[in-house]
Amino acid sequence: MRMAAYSFLTTWHLDAPIDRVYEVLKESGDYPRWWKGVESVEMLAHGDEHGVGQVDRHAWRSALPYTLVFDARVTRVEELRLIEAQITGELEGIGVWRLFAGEGTAVVFDWRVRTTRTWMNRLGPIARPVFIWNHDRVMAAGGIGLARELGVRLLASS
């Protein structure tokens, strides 16, 4: 069976300096505290001093009645600028956080994944709009939660 592929680009603009935003994003184990939809993050392997090689198991659930579990292995880090992870499990692909300093911080998340669950792949052609809507809700909650965690305003989210 062919896996359904999805590509998302999410942008958050926060009224916070880049170093504070980066420090929160790199601590994925804390996501469940501030990001609605993240049920758990369990560290499976430690990375190097920059986090490269770290593996975390994520469990995400939102408005739809299912939980997605996947592992994220950090493959590249550019301090204050980029965190990239290879995704395996019920999703496969790549996720990249990019941060840009300016008037506050712009965070761009590039998520390119394929579903591996049989039922999702079977329903993909008709349920795709619902899966996209669900992803957008999760990411909107992330922007709101990150701003709250930092104690700043979320200036824009898309």
pTM of the model: 0.93
Q: Is the pLDDT of residue 83 over 90?
A: yes
Within its chain, how far is the Cα of 140 from the centroid? 11
3-class state of residue 37 by DSSP: coil
The answer to whether 16 touches 150, Cβ cutoff 8 Å, is yes
pLDDT of amino acid 118 = 84
pLDDT of amino acid 37 = 94
pLDDT of amino acid 143 = 98
β-bridge mates for residue 7, sequence order: 112
pLDDT band at 1 (very low <50, low <70, confident <90, very high): low
Alpha carbon distance 30, 86 (integer Å): 19
Alpha carbon distance 49, 69 (integer Å): 26
73: nearest Cα among 60, 90, 85, 64: 85
Q: Among 26-35, 39-48, 109-118, whose mean pLDDT is lowest? A: 109-118
143: nearest Cα among 15, 7, 6, 8: 15
pLDDT of amino acid 113 = 96
Q: What is the mean pLDDT of residues 41-53?
A: 97
Exposure of 153 in the CB half-sphere (CA atoms within 13 A): 5
